[in-house]
């Protein structure tokens, strides 16, 4: 078995490149289509993302979980002097994220099926956005990772400003806030990454490769690790909307068009959690250990703080926006707990929350598109007119409050299991969050879906045709992965065990016992 594993790691596989290029090719085709052909543009976009989705599903099932490690790798040296490689590959941590990106990307096309303003530009930007997010997850090279991350920011800004909506804040403000906030975060990130790169290359052979950066840990002293991890924490923490750097998130989601909200809440902010695990824990474990208590306190504060604020919201998107801040608190708490169980939970939760929030934003998008309001008080009794939409909304809500048989439950449970030994008090406070999550979710469901029939909404048409795609895709994933948790968690666990993360965490645990700190 090890022999094949090594072989698998060295063999060049073009599959990931195909996954990455599928939306790019679709975008290029769209560029050459006349802009009146809106139907054709949408079909091409759907086909491009479908190919990417189908390929990543194939990867998901073809990945050898026993062997583990980076598979389907492709390494093309780029600039030898700087040590930049165009290196792709997936393991048990990045593959679920890749699948998630494509699930959401594919569905986001259908959630935008009714876009009629500048259709061509919209779908080109959307496809670039999807490509960028995918790139960050399959990159095995820090430089490529950061490159793709920066690619992502541009389409988001343009899309919010042109196709966004103005409610509590103007869409211009929302877009500006989102972009500037994330750019400032990434500036700190960049400083940290360059410091890391310089230190890793201080004895020659500069490299950006994740695994080599991790192997050269002996070069990073404790103080260095603390400083660099602090910078990463600010950058990635902002991205994952960690309290108190979260305020871009509700405004940003509210201003953004549906597809951007779905991708942003669903996968983009997960880059923060992913980065903290991939770089923070694997490369700078001592720094992570130092910051862990801070992260844990901020995380639990975020869980409760955002859940309470969600109670006071009147706009649907703000509820889900704050709810996602609250849920990301669980991910951060799990990362701070730094053991294999909790990291399993963190990755599982990122996947679970991604699917759930995308479903939620997609349903809210349809409600807004049809009724032109997101004000909870103006809505009500929508289950009478739109039973299918109501089903999707209800199931999203149930996933959000962690109902068993959804993947969200098992992820939360794993996180709690992993954290309760490490931070008992904080974990209990965090678990109390499930009560308030239930309160705001059930209130929204009750006030939007149920109650007497309102004649003013009688003209609304239920979901039909292409609009059903996001509903079906996400519900199937939420429940399939929730009823058979090994489906996703088997892969995640293989990632946690085989990537050396488990070893790092184990060493750290022993270090603590040895009283080194």
Q: Which residues bind another protein (CB under 8 A)?
A: 177, 180-181, 244, 247, 305, 308-313, 339-341, 344, 381, 383-384, 398, 401, 403-405, 409-410, 413-414, 416-418, 420-421, 427-428, 431-432, 434-436, 438-439, 442-443, 445-446, 449-453, 485-486, 489-490, 492-493, 496-497, 502
Q: Is the dihedral of CA 17, 19, 20, 25 positive or negative?
A: positive
Q: Do residues 192 and 165 touch, judged by C-beta distance below 8 A? A: no
Q: CA-to-CA distance for 55 and 102, rounded, in angstroms?
A: 9
Q: Which of 316, 320, 341, 308 lies closest to 433 in space, CA to CA?
A: 308
Residue (6 or 484) nearer to another protein, CB: 484
**Peptide bond preceding 244 in cis form (omega within 30 of 0):** yes
What would the two tokens of residue 474 be?
């996400």
Residue 250: other Cβ atoms inside 10 A: 27
Sign for the CA dihedral angle at 473, 474, 478, 481 comes to: positive
Closest alpha carbon to 324 in 261, 276, 376, 382: 261
Which DSSP state fits 462?
Answer: P
Beta strands in 37-178 (DSSP E): 71-79, 84-90
Question: In a 3-state reduction of DSSP, which class is residue 139?
Answer: strand
| Nearer to another protein (CB atom), residue 85 or residue 313 | 313
CA distances from 416 to 159, 413, 425 (A): 37, 5, 11
Whether the CB-CB separation of 414 and 481 falls below 8 Å is answered with no
Six token digits for residue 250: 């509700």
- Tokens for 397, please give them: 């809500």
CB nearer to another protein: pick between 88 and 440: 440
Number of helices followed by number of strands (H, E) in the chain: 23, 2
At residue 85, what are phi and psi to the nearest 5 degrees? -120, 140
Retrieve residue 449's tokens: 């879906």
Q: The tokens 């969200």 sit on which residue?
A: 408
Bridge partners of 209?
141
CA distance readout (Å), 99 to 102, 371, 448, 463, 488: 5, 32, 31, 25, 10
Strands (E), 284-427: none
Contact 200, 194 (CB under 8 A): no
DSSP per-residue codes, 171-206: HHHHHHHHHHHHHHHHHHHHHHHHHHHHHHTTTS--
Q: What are phi and psi of 428, to 5 degrees?
A: -65, -40
């Amino acid at each position: 078995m090890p022999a094949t594993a090594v072989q698998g790691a060295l063999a060049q596989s073009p599959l990931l490149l195909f996954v990455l290029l599928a939306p790019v090719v679709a975008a290029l085709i769209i560029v050459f289509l006349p802009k009146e052909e809106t139907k054709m543009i949408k079909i091409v976009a759907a086909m491009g993302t479908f190919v990417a989705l189908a390929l990543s599903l194939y990867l998901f099932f073809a990945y050898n979980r026993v062997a583990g490690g980076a598979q389907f790798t492709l390494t093309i040296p780029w600039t030898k002097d700087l040590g930049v490689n165009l290196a792709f590959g997936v393991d048990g941590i990045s593959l679920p994220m890749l699948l998630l990106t494509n699930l959401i990307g594919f569905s986001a096309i259908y959630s935008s099926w009714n876009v009629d303003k500048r259709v061509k530009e919209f779908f080109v930007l959307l496809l670039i956005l999807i490509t960028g997010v995918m790139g960050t997850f399959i990159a095995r090279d820090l430089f490529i990772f950061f490159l793709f991350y920066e690619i992502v920011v541009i389409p988001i800004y343009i899309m919010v400003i042109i196709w966004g909506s103005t409610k509590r804040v103007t869409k211009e403000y929302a877009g500006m806030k989102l972009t500037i906030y994330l750019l400032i975060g990434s500036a700190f990130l960049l400083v940290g990454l360059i410091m890391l790169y310089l230190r890793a290359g201080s004895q020659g052979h500069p490299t950006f490769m994740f695994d080599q950066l991790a192997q050269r840990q002996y070069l990073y002293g404790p103080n260095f690790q603390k400083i660099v991890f602090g910078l990463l924490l600010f950058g990635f923490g902002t991205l994952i909307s960690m309290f108190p750097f979260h305020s871009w998130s509700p405004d940003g989601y509210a201003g953004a068009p549906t597809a951007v909200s779905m991708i942003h809440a669903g996968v983009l902010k997960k880059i923060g959690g992913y980065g903290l695990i991939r770089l923070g824990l694997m490369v700078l474990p001592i720094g992570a250990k130092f910051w862990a208590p801070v992260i844990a306190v901020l995380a639990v504060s975020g869980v409760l703080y955002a859940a309470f604020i969600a109670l006071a919201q009147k706009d649907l998107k703000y509820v889900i926006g704050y709810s996602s801040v609250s849920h990301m608190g669980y991910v951060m708490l799990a990362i701070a707990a730094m053991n294999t169980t909790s990291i399993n939970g963190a990755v599982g939760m990122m996947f679970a929350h991604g699917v759930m929030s995308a479903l939620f934003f997609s349903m809210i998008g349809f409600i807004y598109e049809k009724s032109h309001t997101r004000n909870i008080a103006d809505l009500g009794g929508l289950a009478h007119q739109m039973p299918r939409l109501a089903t999707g909304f209800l199931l999203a809500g149930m996933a959000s409050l962690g109902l068993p048989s959804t993947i969200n439950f098992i992820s939360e449970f794993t996180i709690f299991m992993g954290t309760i030994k490490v931070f008992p008090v904080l974990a209990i406070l965090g678990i109390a969050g499930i009560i308030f999550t239930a309160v705001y979710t059930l209130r929204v469901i009750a006030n939007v879906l149920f109650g007497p029939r309102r004649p003013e909404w009688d003209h609304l048409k239920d979901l039909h045709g292409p609009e059903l795609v996001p509903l079906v895709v996400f519900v199937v994933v939420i429940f399939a992965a929730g009823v058979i948790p090994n489906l996703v968690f088997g892969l995640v666990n293989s990632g946690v065990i085989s990537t050396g993360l488990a070893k790092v965490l184990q060493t750290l645990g022993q270090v603590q016992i040895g009283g080194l700190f």
